[in-house]
Amino acid sequence: MSELIEPRILKGFRDSMPQREAQRQQILSTLQEVFRLCGYAPIDTPVLEYAEVLLGKGGGETDKQVYRFTDHGGRDVALRYDLTVPFARFMAAHLGELPLPFRRWHAAKAWRGENTQRGRYREFMQVDFDVVGADSASADLEILLLMRQSLAALGMQRSVVHFSHRAVFNEFLSRLGLSARALDVLRIIDKERKIGAEKTRELLAEIAGAQTAPAILEFTRIEPTPRETLSKIQKAVGAEHAAAVRLAEVLTSLDRLGATGSFILDPSITRGLDYYTGMVFETFLMDLPDIGSICSGGRYNDLASLYCNQKLPGVGASIGVDRLMAAMEELGLLKGDLSAASLLVLCLDETLLADYHRFAARFREAGMAAEVYPEAKKLAVQFGYAEKRGIPLALVWGEEERKAGRVGLKDLRSRESFDGLTPEAAIGKAKELLR
């Protein structure tokens, strides 16, 4: 006998077990229906692409984390590390075929060889959705509404989307003569939730001076009403500035839709290190304030500039499925084991095999998930299996039942038995018990 191989998995990778996988599938089905109703087309792209296509010609910070290798044909290839870059390549490759505006969603895995110590996985799933081909308040508003609607469809009614415009804070800093330190300032502001106002002011003072630091913090505050926040922004960058105009348009529409309570103009939102050029969004859950944004996004003015000369402005957002599921779990929104059948047809006598499968088929036709125990093992073993698997009902059909032409039904939770039922009556009883 040869030596066994240890069935280990790579660090940062996981199996998706039945319960979790069924939950994930249900989440994706729910989102699929939301996107379908909103006219978003599903797409998929290859997991593996030319490294040059995914990483460009230069070598950035991301590169080190990318799974990259040489394939059989000597090609320099890589696993995708997000869904945005493949989407940009997709748009450039299919420009002629796709009418604009093009709305797409894409639920798929991506891979990064990240440090796993921070609870991050090297294989993770994202759900991205974008409108490409229009730079308008309507498209921005649509993504804002859709972010919230996606979460609401999953049961997270109490979510708030915070939004701002990338140019607002940049312009504000530029007027303070701090453009060169913009990234450092953004990093500090992004941390305020974690480190508190006092510490933030100290850090800002190191960069901007003790006099200017409070003004920066003041600027990032959410005012009592959206109009007041907008006024502050208009004063800071000028009411005619494109960013102020776009924010005013969106705010007016949200107001008319009676939705201002769920969407908060928040000048502290910058998504500092991303490639956004217009509006930026983050979503918070009122019931889980510390979990961070589970759906973020923004506007970019040129999606596919690496690959083609046509300008493709767009706006979109991305849901991190792992964080989403962690949030849903904490909120008690994940259903139990959806993968367990409702009924186990017990196997009492292997010569009655055909009957067992016929009964299972009838229960399935009535909408109940049913499985047949595949061998005539001891009943204790079969009941033990049902219990471990979380199957609530069992159907009894042995020589005795066959002679009488009547089946038995057992509720394994209450240990109640219902004997002498016609198959029709057993189906009705099972439905009643499962209600």
**According to CB under 8 A, which residues from 383 to 412 bind a second copy?**
384-385, 388-389, 391
CA 222 vs CA 134, 205, 216, 345: distances in Å: 29, 21, 13, 60
Token pair listed for 77? 């290839």
Q: Rule CB under 8 A: which of 140-169 touch a second copy?
A: 141-142, 145
- Cβ atoms of 327 and 319 within 8 Å: the answer is no
Phi and psi of 79, rounded to 5°?
-80, 140
Window of 25-33, 236-244, 290-298, 326-334 that interacts with a second copy by CB under 8 A? 25-33
Among 37, 195, 286, 434, binds a second copy (CB under 8 A): 37
The set of long-range contacts for 224-230, using a CB threshold of 8 Å and a minimum separation of 24, is 226/251, 226/254, 226/255, 226/260, 226/264, 226/265, 227/251, 229/265, 229/266, 229/267, 230/265
- Cβ atoms of 278 and 166 within 8 Å: the answer is yes
**Given the complex with a second copy, which of 29 and 211 has the nearer CB atom?**
29
* Residues 6 or more apart in contact with residue 208 via CB below 8 angstroms: 176, 178, 181, 185, 216
Contacts with a second copy: how many residues (CB under 8 A)?
117
Among 30, 47, 222, 227, binds a second copy (CB under 8 A): 47
Quote the least distance from Cβ 88 to a second copy, whole Å.
8
Q: Is 322 in the site for a second copy (CB under 8 A)?
A: no
Among 147, 217, 243, 341, binds a second copy (CB under 8 A): 341
Three-class DSSP labels, 65-94: HCCEEECCCCCEEEECCCCHHHHHHHHHHC
Q: Is 52 in the site for a second copy (CB under 8 A)?
A: yes
Q: Is 277 in the site for a second copy (CB under 8 A)?
A: no
User: Amino acid identity of 21?
Assistant: E
Q: Is 334 in the site for a second copy (CB under 8 A)?
A: no
Quote the least distance from Cβ 376 to a second copy, whole Å.
9
Q: Is 62 in the site for a second copy (CB under 8 A)?
A: no
Window of 7-15, 197-205, 411-419, 427-435 that interacts with a second copy by CB under 8 A? 7-15
Q: Rule CB under 8 A: which of 226-245 touch a second copy?
A: none
Side by side, the strands of the sheet bearing 68-70 are 48-50, 76-79, 68-70
Among 99, 119, 332, 405, binds a second copy (CB under 8 A): 99
Quote the least distance from Cβ 292 to a second copy, whole Å.
25
Quote the least distance from Cβ 267 to a second copy, whole Å.
23
Among 209, 357, 400, 404, binds a second copy (CB under 8 A): 357
Beta strands in 144-221 (DSSP E): 159-165
> H-type helices in 241-316, by residue range?
242-256
**Given the complex with a second copy, which of 54 and 236 has the nearer CB atom?**
54
Q: Is 61 in the site for a second copy (CB under 8 A)?
A: no
- Cβ atoms of 60 and 77 within 8 Å: the answer is no
Q: Is 358 in the site for a second copy (CB under 8 A)?
A: yes
Quote the least distance from Cβ 144 to a second copy, whole Å.
10
Quote the least distance from Cβ 59 to a second copy, whole Å.
14
Window of 63-71, 276-284, 288-296, 412-420 that interacts with a second copy by CB under 8 A? 63-71
Quote the least distance from Cβ 261 to a second copy, whole Å.
15
Window of 44-52, 173-181, 200-208, 406-414 that interacts with a second copy by CB under 8 A? 44-52
Q: Rule CB under 8 A: which of 175-214 touch a second copy?
A: none
Q: Rule CB under 8 A: which of 124-143 touch a second copy?
A: 131, 134, 136-139, 141-142
Among 228, 329, 330, 350, binds a second copy (CB under 8 A): 350
Beta strands at 76-79 and 370-372: parallel, antiparallel or unpaired: unpaired
Token pair listed for 221? 């505050």
- How far apart, in whole angstroms, are the C-alpha atoms of residue 125 and residue 115? 17
Beta strands at 314-320 and 123-132: parallel, antiparallel or unpaired: antiparallel
Token pair listed for 62? 């991301």
DSSP 47: S
Q: Is 311 in the site for a second copy (CB under 8 A)?
A: no
